[in-house]
Amino acid sequence: MRPDFSIQQLENLCIEIRKPRSKPFLVVTWYRPPDSSVEMFTYFESLIGKIDGEYAEFYLMGDLNCNFAALQLDHNANLLSSIADVHNLQQLITDPTRCTESSSTLIDLIFTNLPDRIIYSGVSHIGISDHSLIYAYRKLSIDSTSRGHTTVTYRKFKNFNSSNFRSDITHQNWQIIDKYDDPNYMWEVWKKLFLLCVDKHAPLRNKRVRPCKSTIAL
């Protein structure tokens, strides 16, 4: 956790991810309520400025309620876009993230100051919310000096059926989460229900591999 990158006026969270023999990078989340004041962007720019001052690689994501798919950006989206331009940030998501019968908007976003580290990003319409899941895969270099073989754990997608997966996800008892007030416990219950489906459709497997210098995606 990086509490020094938390702004009291923002609903934001920052964590630092460290990997062996590599520089740490930051993952920052921010939720901007749709009825929030324009002043929120001032606090947001202050947050970006603090992170920039550390010269760290970072990824800022969340439901920002600024529609980047509009033919003409509104005032809020223009403010957010201007802040990104000033700090040389790139927005990675291009497909709509919230679709209804009457609208299609791109309001869940991922900004980064080092887009070359990302090999793939996109939107997954898993159907458990009115918002779709956004994601990005980051390159990670591994330089192992050990000899012989090692064991890696991966998910087997050979028989994965996306329609069956979405059906099982939809029929999970998500309402049980509303019975709890502690967000940490709510997260644990959500994760358990989600992993039940993931483990069924993409089970974990172990595989022996020869270690080498390679690049993988996170």
pLDDT tens per residue across all 218 residues of the chain: 898 898 989 999 999 998 877 889 999 999 999 999 999 999 999 999 999 888 889 999 999 999 999 999 999 999 999 999 999 999 999 999 999 888 999 999 999 999 999 998 999 887 667 899 999 999 876 555 555 677 888 888 888 898 899 899 999 999 999 999 988 889 999 999 999 999 999 999 998 876 554 443 43
The structure's pTM equals 0.69
Same domain, 16 and 94: yes
Same domain, 119 and 162: no
CA distance 150 to 180: 41
* 3-state secondary structure (DSSP) of residue 202: coil
Same domain, 88 and 192: no
Same domain, 117 and 25: yes
Reading the block at residue 59, the tokens are 């990824």
144 CB-near residues (< 8 Å, 6+ apart): 150, 211, 212, 213
Q: How confident is the model at residue 106, as a pLDDT?
A: 97
Instruction: State the SS3 of 52-100.
Output: HCCCCEEEEEEECCCCCCCCCCCHHHHHHHHHHHHCCCEECCCCCCEEC
Same domain, 75 and 105: yes
Same domain, 56 and 16: yes
User: Residue 55: inside a domain, yes or no?
Assistant: yes
User: Residue 46: inside a domain, yes or no?
Assistant: yes
User: Residue 152: inside a domain, yes or no?
Assistant: no
CA distance 3 to 177: 27
The torsion defined by the Cα of 163, 164, 170 and 176, in degrees rounded to 10, comes to -160
Same domain, 95 and 136: yes
Q: How confident is the model at residue 215, as a pLDDT?
A: 43
| Helical axes 183-201 vs 162-170, angle rounded to 10° | 150
**CATH number, position 37:** 3.60.10.10
DSSP annotation of 8: T
Reading the block at residue 143, the tokens are 């330089």
* 3-state secondary structure (DSSP) of residue 38: coil
Q: How many residues does the chain have?
A: 218
User: Residue 93: inside a domain, yes or no?
Assistant: yes
**17 bridge partner residues:** 25
Same domain, 68 and 161: no
CA distance 218 to 119: 10
Same domain, 33 and 127: yes
Q: How confident is the model at residue 216, as a pLDDT?
A: 38
CA distance 30 to 62: 5
User: Residue 90: inside a domain, yes or no?
Assistant: yes
95, with CB counted inside 10 A (0-12, 13-18, 19+), is middle
The domain in which residue 60 lies consists of 3-145+211-217
Same domain, 178 and 125: no
131, with CB counted inside 10 A (0-12, 13-18, 19+), is middle
Q: How many domains does the chain have?
A: 2
User: Residue 97: inside a domain, yes or no?
Assistant: yes
25 CB-near residues (< 8 Å, 6+ apart): 16, 17, 56, 57, 58, 59, 138
Q: How confident is the model at residue 54, as a pLDDT?
A: 86
User: Residue 151: inside a domain, yes or no?
Assistant: no
Same domain, 35 and 127: yes
User: Residue 22: inside a domain, yes or no?
Assistant: yes
Same domain, 135 and 180: no
